Amino acid sequence: MSKRETLKRLLSYLLNDKAGFAVAAIFLLFAVVADVSGPWLIRIFLDDYVAQDYYPPNVLWGLALAYIAVTVLSGLLHYAYGIRFSRIAIEIVQTIRKRVYASIINQPLSAFDYVPAGKLVSRVTNDTESLKELYVQVVASFLQATALIIAMLTAMYLLSPTLTVVVAILIPSVVLVMYYYQRRSSPAYRDSRDLLTDINSVMSESIQGMSLIQLMGQEQRFSERFADLTEQHFNTEVRIVKINGIYLRPLIDLMSGVALISLAALFGWHGNELIGVGVLYAFISYLGRVTEPLIELMQRLSLLQQAIMAGERLFELMDAKQHVYGDDDRAIESGTIDIEGLNFSYDSKTQVLTDVNVSVKEGGFLALVGHTGSGKSTLASLLMGFYPVQKGALKLGGRELSTLTQNALRSGIAMVQQDPHVLSDTFRANVSLGRDISDEAIWQALEQVDLADYVKQLPSGLDTAIGTGDITLSAGQKQLLALARVLVDKPRILILDEATANIDSGTEERVQQALAALRNTMTIVVIAHRLSTIADADNILVLHRGHVEEQGNHQQLLANKGRYWQMYELQQTRAHLEELEQIACGETETHEGIA
């Protein structure tokens, strides 16, 4: 999208509130008339009364009161215009911010695979604030300046067409300066905005990964990286200051001075026989009121450049491809899963899954095992509809996943992730997540995951806030809470992505019992690292580098003595060594106590 198209699209938002814009325009029109009236009244006073040595009291008092009235009225009308336009600008910024956010959360997960979170946050916050400056500072000033210039030139022409020609020469000269300023400043402002985004991104990532940075002793490296970006941003800002210092006020002041000298020279040549003193005063006053808006416009061009850059980035997000769902809104009534010839790649180069075939009956228990990078989580993400199926077939309840609406898919299949996100809110809000769920259903879900007793002992129960004050959850409790979230909605298919990895053996046993009871009502898919947790699975899919190397139940795979058997033996050996180590430690402590 070109700069002109971006600016045109940004300005189109002004028409969202046509009535408000019309009211602002009326305020501006009357304010400009009041601005023009002041110097005109002074011209009458000088030429018609002072030059004639004629001072009628009533007329002079009338002119004085009229001058005071139009001055006060001008200030009030400009204030009303500014308030009205600021309101319009804030509403536009809110609209754009909402649309950008809605676009972000509706994009497919693939859009976030290579985009740092800090850059997205910067766009939603900083870039939308830049747009507010566009409407409040640039557009409002441009309309005001344009109206003033037209009104002042009209008043000048009515006073003296000859002097108006001298002043009018100033306008195209300023336009030419503005053109060259835009050409020089645009790249600098783009670099400044990009560097500021990078700075925010580094800051966000550093705060999020502070424990890792300190653990690995990388404070110096990150500090140097941040300092380098800050230095680049400083140099870019200095370049902008130099450009502004040349093209903004100095050149406009120079041209204004030339126009003023020309007026004085013309007045001195012809004398006051052709041009009265009052007319000259009015022209000088009008000239000042013409040049000031032009200088203000030049100064606002920097904000215009920033706003256009921000608009390009925001529209890029708003126009980004949205996640595409089907139009079949019928609820998933069966928990069957059928996968045939499934292939998938994140970047269209490296295959992550190749020719995966598996079927799961209603109420079945499917386990996915394999080493890191084997494709387990990718297969779970495809089942959730986070990524589109590229090749092959994936059916839920006998229907192609791609044909299901978002509502049908999200109500029919749910996932508990390995590292679930917990809101800084109450237990009730964390379980319901905005859904209309009764407290009774929430307590029932918490009972199933063995969290009810813990929540009941808290002072505020379900109203206890998490992540604030003294209440924090362990990694295992977070996973139990995430499991309770999906159990209240009773999906037809439940996926557990290493959801029991951080739970102690006692709690894990209770969760296993709860899942065994749920198998009568839903299909369970478990991504497991500890093979002991999936011994009861109907079918175990052993993945290796995206291929299905083996599948069958626990006993069948052990009898085959393939990769699953090797993984199981390694875990059994490790568990046995840990048990021996614990016994040895216990004996050592006993001997030390006797001694």
pLDDT in tens, 143-160: 888 888 888 778 878 877
The vertex-172 CA angle with 170 and 173, nearest 5°, equals 60
Mean pLDDT confidence for 48-56: 78
Distance CA 389, CA 587 (A): 56
How confident is residue 478, by pLDDT bands cut at 50, 70 and 90? confident
Coil vs helix vs strand at 437:
coil
Tell me how far apart the alpha carbons of residues 583 and 281 are, in angstroms, rounded to a whole number. 103
Look over the chain and give the mean of its residue pLDDT values, rounded to a whole number: 80
**CA atoms of 50 and 55, how far apart (whole Å):** 7
pLDDT at 271: 46
Which tokens sit at 450?
């063995």
Which residue pairs from 10-14 have beta carbons closer than 8 angstroms and sit at least 24 positions apart in sequence? 10/131, 10/134, 10/307, 10/308, 10/311, 11/139, 13/92, 13/95, 13/96, 14/88, 14/92, 14/135, 14/139
542 φ, ψ (degrees, to nearest 5): -100, 110
Q: Check if the beta carbon of residue 85 is closer than 8 Å to that of residue 140.
A: yes
* Helix axes 219-247 and 277-318, enclosed angle (nearest 10): 150
By residue count, the chain amounts to 595
Average pLDDT over residues 355-378: 89
Alpha helices by DSSP H, 433-504: 439-448, 452-456, 475-487
pLDDT in tens, 240-263: 888 777 766 565 566 556 666 665
Please state, as a whole number, how many other Cβ atoms lie within 10 Å of the Cβ of residue 35.
24
Confidence of residue 184 (pLDDT cuts 50, 70, 90): confident
pLDDT tens digit sequence for 113-151: 666 666 777 777 778 887 888 888 888 888 888 888 888
Pairing relationship of beta strands 493-497 and 413-416 according to DSSP bridges: parallel
353: three-class secondary structure by DSSP = strand
- Alpha-carbon torsion angle 147, 152, 154, 159, nearest 10: 170
What is the rounded average pLDDT of the residues 170-183?
Answer: 72
Q: Please classify residue 47 by burial: count the beta carbons closer than 10 Å to its beta carbon, then call 0-12 exposed, 13-18 middle and 19+ buried.
A: buried
Q: What is the structure's pLDDT at 366?
A: 92
pLDDT confidence of residue 200: 77
* C-alpha span between 161 and 247 (Å, rounded): 30
What is the pLDDT, as a whole number, of residue 540? 92
Q: How far is CA 179 from CA 175, 183, 191, 235, in A?
A: 6, 6, 19, 24
Cα 185 to Cα 278: distance, rounded to the nearest angstrom:
41
Position 65 confidence tier, pLDDT thresholds 50, 70, 90? very high
Domains annotated on the chain, with CATH: 3-316 (1.20.1560.10), 337-560 (3.40.50.300)
Q: How far apart are CA 474 and CA 458, in angstroms?
A: 15
Cβ atoms 511, 500 nearer than 8 A:
yes
Cα separation of 328 and 325, whole Å? 9
Contacts of 229 (CB under 8 A, 6+ apart): 195, 198, 199, 202
**pLDDT tens per residue, range 271-295:** 444 556 677 677 777 766 766 676 6
Q: Global pTM?
A: 0.63
pLDDT given at position 170: 66
Identify the weakest region by mean pLDDT among 28-42, 64-78, 330-344, 508-522.
508-522
Q: In the prediction, which pLDDT does 273 show?
A: 44
pLDDT of 395 = 92
Positive or negative: CA dihedral 171, 177, 183, 186: negative
Q: Quick one: average pLDDT of 65-78?
A: 90
> What three-state secondary structure class fits 328?
strand
User: Count of CB atoms within 10 A of residue 139's CB?
Assistant: 21
Q: Helix or strand or coil: residue 433? A: coil
Mean pLDDT across 177-196: 76
Structure-token pair, residue 254: 């120079």
Between the CA of residue 299 and those of 59, 177, 185, 295, 306, what are the distances in Å? 42, 12, 12, 6, 12
One-letter amino acid identity for 508? E
Q: Indicate if the pLDDT at residue 26 is higher than 70.
A: yes
CA angle 162, 168, 172 (to 5 degrees): 150
72 confidence band (pLDDT: 50, 70, 90): very high
268 contact partners, CB below 8 Å, separation of at least 6: none
For the cut 70, the answer to whether the pLDDT of residue 326 exceeds it is: yes
Q: Which two tokens stand for residue 231?
A: 């230095």
- The pLDDT of 579-586, averaged and rounded, is 69
Spell out the residues 6+ positions from residue 134 whose beta carbon is closer than 8 angstroms to its own: 10, 89, 303, 304, 307, 311
pLDDT tens readout for residues 483-492: 888 888 888 9
For residue 439, CA distances in Å to 271, 429, 444, 462 come to: 92, 11, 8, 8
